A and B are shown apart, each in its own frame.
Chain A
Amino acid sequence: MADIDENLAQREAIEVDRSKGDFKYEENYAFDAGIGLTPSTIDYIAKVKGEEEWIREFRQKSLKIFQEMPMPTHWATADLENIKFEDIRYYLSKGQKPVRTWEEVPDDVKQTFERLGIPESERKFLAGVEAQFDSEAVYSRMKEELEKQGVIFCGPTEGLRDHPEIFRKWFGKVIPIGDNKFAALNSAVFSGGSFIYIPKGVKVAQPLQAYFRINAENFGQFERTLIIADEGSEVTYMEGCTAPKFETATLHSAVVELVALKGAKIQYITVQNWSANVFNLVTKRGVAEEDAEVRWIDCNIGSRLTMKYPGVVLRGKRARGEVLSIALANDGQHQDTGAKMIHAADDTTSNIIAKSISVGEGRSTYRGLVHIPKTLSNCRNNTECDALLINEHSRTDTYPAISVRGRKNSVQHEASVSKVSAEQIFYMMQRGLSEGEAMSLAVNGFVNDLVKEFPMEYSVELKRLIELQMEGSVG
């Protein structure tokens, strides 16, 4: 029986308790680029990282583009104007090179993992863990088999330095610098993140995981991820985020590029739980070549403002793209999420299922873009977006943009808005559930069919995060 709860009891023992992400640890930063963003900040970052000249130039060019581009407030929320770029710290590092063994990890970092509630068994269990602690990966390990298989799993600095023949070709190509203002910002100041290469035909059995943390006030995190799955290979990457709570707003602006070559499959999973002051402005896009598949599973919980529209460019025949997303907007939060599917070859298919939950004063926006030019034939898209409202103050908007030309292609679009009624809450409370438990059960029910698609540990964790959110939302 495919019942998540049945396995819950066994899972609970090794579960990561992300509710503990709510603390701040004293840091003694060995490297710190200071506050604000100028060409000399960029030079500083490039120098500290010991980067080659072409990367420094790439960064400087990106900075210029970032500074020239206007804020996208003609379509996006004016809240973006509240980001104080001049107050942000763009680079922090412990100054270590990424290490392989647990023993080499500094004690204070270990303590932080301890407090995060990542149990020993879990740490050992995680295959190829790349845990990002602030801007630099301080803890990275790879299972021996992965190395033997030729899998590369490192950070951007190492990736570009040690394997330029693999990564340089695609770096900044799926998402060009000028794609949007925040992609440009990331291109200027990126540090941390994962660079992954899966050789031809290699099917990585265990998901690659990374834990992300933001741990300094006014510190923007700009990780950069590039995953290249060579022909016929398969990989699942999991990204989990927790951020401690701070008084002032924090900016998180990542760029994630995925390249699935002929017949390859990439599944990228994000479950994020940002604290309520984080601006989370992320650009994610994948390219799928012939017979390849790119699948984004994206769960956005928390943050002050999230803007994220994972996309897939279906470049080869029979390529498949999928976005499954869940967004939960609580009081004072705005989840502006969606998906982009760009069909660029015949016989390509895309599927978008987006579920949003708005609680209290929370606001969710769905923006979808599906593009199928008329020169193509036999392309299909299915888009489903469902919104759940919990109490009358919350709000949801849908902006689907579907440009499908040509009679040989088909699109299917369904949208629904539902409410958790007072009667439903009463019914559940009559069975002994508190109001918060009743609401989280209703929310979990709403996302249930989508969550079934997730790997077990993520569905369990998501369930927990929803519970925490809903319990926090009742007085």
Chain B
Amino acid sequence: MSDSLVIKNLNASIGDRPILKDFSLTVPKGEVHAIMGPNGTGKSTLSKVLAGHPDYSVQSGEAFLDGEQILGLEPDVVARAGLFLAFQYPSEIPGVTIANFIRAALVARQAKGAPFDAKAYYAELYAKMDALKMDRKFTSRFVNEGFSGGEKKRCEILQLMMLKPKYAVLDETDSGLDIDALRIVSEGVNAMRGPDTGFLVITHYQRLLEYIVPDRVHIMWDGRIVHSGGKELALELEEKGYDWVKQDLAKA
């Protein structure tokens, strides 16, 4: 519990429409969990509720990050507590360069007034960009402005690698990536895997999970997890489709 991301009986809605229904899931540190599920089932909603998005209201339930309750906290407090969300649809921030944006995010994690080592920062930023095969010109481009779909996703992973959170939720990071990019981005994520980081990977495709091999796979349906298994569950799902889940549910 003190070294996991724990979500317990979470009920959340947008307006008066319930989306998450008694949702429960535990991601221990050091593990990669995948969530698969049909469109509109509430996967992105889950990530935003955890991150403290003001549009969603939580009716009941709990969420703990290494034992610390995160529901109801401001989004920046949750972020600094160690939760990172790679957005399905990242926002554009006109006029703010990627270099300045990531820098501001890092400075926000420092003690107020502490000196910032700009030299070390750029060295690390360039190294991570090289790893992600991003052109250095991107440092002076404005955050996500005019980026292609794949470039946006790569930029999310760059931020992830620079901010080094305790837990990262990757919301369809694979969508929009070409085959090479998928491999490069996955390598980036894999390089971050280790005992200190937990991942929750939301995806529609088993292909991503060939690169980022998950410890657990969960199937989400109508606001909750209905099936959990090992990495082979993703394969099974790909073969049988969601009808299989539906029939299974009907039987239960």
- Please tell me which stretch of A1-9, A147-155, A266-274 contacts chain B, meaning at least 4 of its Cβ atoms lie within 8 angstroms of it: A1-9
A432 and B93 form a contact (CB under 8 A):
no
- Give Cα A421 to B159, complex, Å: 21
User: Does any Cβ of B come within 8 Å of A96's Cβ?
Assistant: no
The 8 A CB mask of A399-428 against B (1 = contact, 0 = none) is: 000000000000000000010011110111
- Give Cα A9 to B103, complex, Å: 12
A353 CB, min distance to chain B CBs, angstroms: 14
Contact residue among B78, B91, B140 (Cβ-Cβ distance under 8 Å from A3)? B140
Q: How many interface residues does chain B have, given as a range?
A: 35 or more
B residues bordering A, Cβ < 8 Å? 51-55, 74-76, 78-80, 84-85, 87, 90-97, 99-105, 108-109, 115-116, 118, 122, 139-140, 142, 159, 163
**A interface residues, how many (CB within 8 angstroms):** 32
User: Does any Cβ of B come within 8 Å of A377's Cβ?
Assistant: no
- Give Cα A2 to B137, complex, Å: 12
A9 and B115 form a contact (CB under 8 A):
yes
- Give Cα A447 to B95, complex, Å: 7
B76 and A432 form a contact (CB under 8 A):
yes
Known: A422-B54, A442-B96, A445-B96. Contact between A432 and B91, CB under 8 A?
no
Known: A9-B118, A445-B142. Contact between A431 and B93, CB under 8 A?
no
CB contacts under 8 Å to B, within A421-465, are: 421-424, 426-435, 437-438, 441-442, 444-449
A451 CB, min distance to chain B CBs, angstroms: 9
Contacts of A438 in B (CB 8 A): 76
- Give Cα A444 to B103, complex, Å: 14
CB contacts under 8 Å to B, within A293-347, are: none
- Give Cα A431 to B51, complex, Å: 10
A433 and B93 form a contact (CB under 8 A):
no
CB contacts under 8 Å to B, within A191-237, are: none
Contacts of B99 in A (CB 8 A): 3, 5
- Give Cα A442 to B104, complex, Å: 12
A453 CB, min distance to chain B CBs, angstroms: 14
Of the listed residues B80, B91, B92, B103, the one surrounded by the most CB atoms of chain A closer than 10 A to its CB is B91
- Give Cα A5 to B91, complex, Å: 22
A427 and B93 form a contact (CB under 8 A):
yes
Of the listed residues A2, A445, A448, the one surrounded by the most CB atoms of chain B closer than 10 A to its CB is A445
Contacts of B87 in A (CB 8 A): 427, 430
- Give Cα A430 to B93, complex, Å: 13
Known: A424-B91, A441-B104. Contact between A429 and B97, CB under 8 A?
no
B95 CB, min distance to chain A CBs, angstroms: 3
Contacts of B100 in A (CB 8 A): 3, 5, 441
A residues bordering B, Cβ < 8 Å? 1-3, 5-6, 8-9, 418, 421-424, 426-435, 437-438, 441-442, 444-449
The 5 closest A-B pairs by CB, nearest first: A445-B95, A445-B96, A427-B91, A429-B75, A448-B95
B140 and A431 form a contact (CB under 8 A):
no
Dominant secondary structure at the A interface: helix
Closest to B119 in A: A9
- Give Cα A3 to B103, complex, Å: 12
Contacts of B54 in A (CB 8 A): 422, 426
Contacts of B85 in A (CB 8 A): 430
A131 CB, min distance to chain B CBs, angstroms: 27
Closest to A5 in B: B100
- Give Cα A9 to B101, complex, Å: 16
Contact residue among A5, A422, A424, A447 (Cβ-Cβ distance under 8 Å from B93)? A424
Closest to B103 in A: A5
- Give Cα A354 to B91, complex, Å: 25
A-B residue pairs in contact (CB < 8 Å), sample of 7: A422-B54, A426-B75, A429-B76, A430-B87, A432-B79, A432-B163, A444-B95
Contacts of A437 in B (CB 8 A): 76, 104, 108
Closest to B81 in A: A432
Closest to B159 in A: A431
Of the listed residues A3, A435, A437, the one surrounded by the most CB atoms of chain B closer than 10 A to its CB is A3
A431 and B163 form a contact (CB under 8 A):
yes
- Give Cα A25 to B163, complex, Å: 45
- Give Cα A424 to B96, complex, Å: 12
A441 and B96 form a contact (CB under 8 A):
yes
Contact residue among A6, A433, A435 (Cβ-Cβ distance under 8 Å from B118)? A6
Closest to B136 in A: A1
Contacts of B103 in A (CB 8 A): 5
- Give Cα A428 to B104, complex, Å: 10
Contacts of B51 in A (CB 8 A): 426, 430
B95 and A432 form a contact (CB under 8 A):
no
- Give Cα A6 to B119, complex, Å: 9
B91 and A433 form a contact (CB under 8 A):
no
